[in-house]
Amino acid sequence: MTGDVTWRTLRPGERVVVRRRRDDDPAPGEPPYTDVLGEVVTIDDDGLVVRTRRADVDVPGADVVLWKRVPPALPRRAR
């Protein structure tokens, strides 16, 4: 799915991967995009918050390039 405004159809609790423009200034040769994988926490007209394994990530709507829903994560194996 393209990220124009269709990301607004997402709902809290859905697991997604979002390709977004990087908010830093990538060095020459580095990709201008990064992916955020996790569960949608909140969503509004300004963007969305995605809970990853490490932290909640604020993704401004203007930075969303692509997105898609993904299946639930597999349970982690015991070590």
Buried b (16+ CB within 10 A) or exposed e, 37-76: ebbbeebeeebbbbbeeeeebebebebbbbbeeeeeeeee
Q: Residue type for 67, please?
A: W
Tens digit of pLDDT for each residue in 2-56?
Answer: 445 688 999 999 999 999 999 888 888 989 999 999 999 999 989 999 999 999 9
Counts of helices then strands in the chain (DSSP H, E): 0, 5
Would you say residue 73 has pLDDT above 80?
A: yes
Please give the biggest Cα pair distance in the chain.
42
User: What's the whole-model pTM score?
Assistant: 0.84
User: CATH for 6-23+32-69, among 3.40.1440.10, 3.40.190.10, 2.30.30.100, 3.40.640.10?
Assistant: 2.30.30.100
Residue type, 47: G
pLDDT of residue 74: 84
